[in-house]
């Protein structure tokens, strides 16, 4: 079965890290400074996208997360985790839509 590769849009800021931040003029960069690729466009777009609106319906969040909202309303950590997962899923969908739009697919 072929695995579907997610289009991450490539690097958001291509180039060697040392060149991007211009911190090593005349000094040999370390391996990390020379090869660290940084964020992909997908990651960058997800970070920069709007979060879920405060008025988001629970059913919408459940569809994003793929599970029901926690029943125990006193387990604040689990409730926070549920809504964080919904927000993250929303942001990734937004990022994927931006990449598709940039490539003419939307």
Tens digit of each residue's pLDDT (9 = 90 or more) over 15-29:
665 555 555 556 555
For the chain, what's the residue count? 106
pLDDT more than 70, % of the chain? 72
DSSP conformation class of 87: H
> Does the residue 27 lie in any domain?
yes
Burial class of 85 by CB neighbour count within 10 A (0 to 12, 13 to 18, 19+)? middle
| pTM, rounded to two decimals | 0.70
> Average pLDDT of 19-42?
62
C-alpha to C-alpha distances, 32 to 17, 19, 24, 25, 104, nearest whole angstrom:
8, 12, 13, 16, 35
> The dihedral of CA 35, 99, 61, 48: what is its sign?
positive
Are 94 and 54 contained in the same domain?
yes
> Does the residue 15 lie in any domain?
yes
Q: pLDDT tier at 71 (50, 70, 90 boundaries)? A: very high
Token pair, residue 90, equals: 């929303």
The residue range of the domain holding 26 is 11-39
> Does the residue 71 lie in any domain?
yes
Are 20 and 54 contained in the same domain?
no
> Does the residue 30 lie in any domain?
yes
Rounded-to-integer distance, Cα 61 and Cα 68, Å: 9
Are 97 and 55 contained in the same domain?
yes
pLDDT at 46 over 70: yes
């Amino acid at each position: 079965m072929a695995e579907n590769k997610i289009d991450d849009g490539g690097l958001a800021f291509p180039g060697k890290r040392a060149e991007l931040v211009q911190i090593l003029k005349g000094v040999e960069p370390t391996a990390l400074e020379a090869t660290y690729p940084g964020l992909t466009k997908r990651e960058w777009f997800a970070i920069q996208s709007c979060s879920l609106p405060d008025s988001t319906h629970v059913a919408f969040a459940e569809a994003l997360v793929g599970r029901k909202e926690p029943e125990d309303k006193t387990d604040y950590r689990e409730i926070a985790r549920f809504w964080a997962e919904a927000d993250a899923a929303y942001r990734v969908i937004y990022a994927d839509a931006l990449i598709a739009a940039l490539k003419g697919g939307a």
